[in-house]
Amino acid sequence: MKQKRPIISIKQIVGAVVLLAMIASIEVFIHCLPKPDISEAEHPQDSITYTKPIKYKRDTVVIRLRHFNPNTADSTTLLELGLKPWQVRNMLKYRAKKGVYRKKEDLKRLYGMTDSIYNTLEPYIDIPPADSIRKDTLQTDSIIKQYISRKKDTIIELNSADTALLQVIRGIGKYTAVKIVRYRNQLGGYYSTEQLREIEQTEKIEWDSVIPHFILNTDSVKRIRVNYASIDALQRHPYISFTQAKALYTQRRRQIRLTSIGELKSLPFTDSEIEKIEPYLDFSR
């Protein structure tokens, strides 16, 4: 005898559909609710600390109107005056090519300079007269350029001259000028113009004709405080080897402090090396 299949009534079908519809509505409602701000909610007291992500805004430039010379003002000043970064770059490129703003109206030629911006800046533009003496890089470059083109003989203070000024001397090119300044920094300053002969050269330099054009201010020579300097600080000087620096440091530790250059004679220094290094050593407490 065959078993009868259970008969599902229409009411049961309708009820199931309604139930499914209700479940679906609840799910949609839950997903549509705004999520609570975790930073404002109460955090559970456990070992995990919640950190809310922070979005940082880009730095903004504060506009500060002040008097400026468009031939010498730096990029920070120009930005604070309200110019756009690309305008500042154009100004600096123009100046790098030896371009000069001779009068206020010349600034109108700057790409992107509107009448509104110019009228705002115009009262603050200060351009000294062309015949006045200006202590700025443009004038210095111009003077140096004239000297170099004429190769005019002159006398220069060696311990303060920069690479551009050194090239005023006939026989010194850019490469040699850089080497002179670099060796000066390593020494702490020159105490004799004859020290120039110690510079390693790849180009031929006639020092006999160059050296007479220099004078020296030895007050600017930097001295090493022997009783405080480390081995590393001592050996950085071109006249002190690692072995000599270590021996000097050990001797100082042994007798607490050194008092005079004569004490180096018991260390691995020759008389000529002591004579060379003496101007650079300070034995004070």
Closest listed residue to residue 179, CA positions, set 196, 191, 193: 196
Percent of the chain with pLDDT over 70: 74
Closest listed residue to residue 73, CA positions, set 19, 127, 20, 9: 127
Stretch 145-168: mean pLDDT, rounded? 74
Highest mean pLDDT among 18-32, 99-113, 130-144: 99-113
Residues β-bridged to residue 125? 68
pLDDT digits (tens, 9 = 90+) for 106-141: 988 888 888 888 888 989 898 887 644 344 445 555
Residue bearing the bigger pLDDT, 66 or 226: 226
- pLDDT (0 to 100) of residue 203: 65
At 29, the pLDDT band (50, 70, 90 cuts) reads low
- pLDDT (0 to 100) of residue 153: 55
Mean pLDDT of the chain: 79
Stretch 158-179: mean pLDDT, rounded? 89
Helix (H) or strand (E) holding 117: helix 115-121
- pLDDT (0 to 100) of residue 40: 40
- pLDDT (0 to 100) of residue 66: 83
Stretch 32-61: mean pLDDT, rounded? 44
Q: Does the pLDDT value for residue 48 go beyond 90?
A: no
CA–CA separation, 151 vs 167, rounded Å? Answer: 9
Q: Does the pLDDT value for residue 96 go beyond 90?
A: no
Percent of the chain with pLDDT over 90: 35
At 256, the pLDDT band (50, 70, 90 cuts) reads confident
Q: Does the pLDDT value for residue 182 go beyond 90?
A: yes
Stretch 45-64: mean pLDDT, rounded? 45
- pLDDT (0 to 100) of residue 233: 94
CA–CA separation, 36 vs 30, rounded Å? Answer: 12
Closest listed residue to residue 172, CA positions, set 161, 180, 160: 180
Six token digits for residue 107: 């600034």
pLDDT digits (tens, 9 = 90+) for 31-44: 665 554 444 444 44
- pLDDT (0 to 100) of residue 25: 72
- pLDDT (0 to 100) of residue 135: 46
Helix residue ranges, H only, 168-218: 174-187, 207-210
Q: Does the pLDDT value for residue 176 go beyond 70?
A: yes
Stretch 203-227: mean pLDDT, rounded? 90
- pLDDT (0 to 100) of residue 149: 47
Decide: 283 and 223 in contact? Cβ < 8 Å.
no
- pLDDT (0 to 100) of residue 125: 92
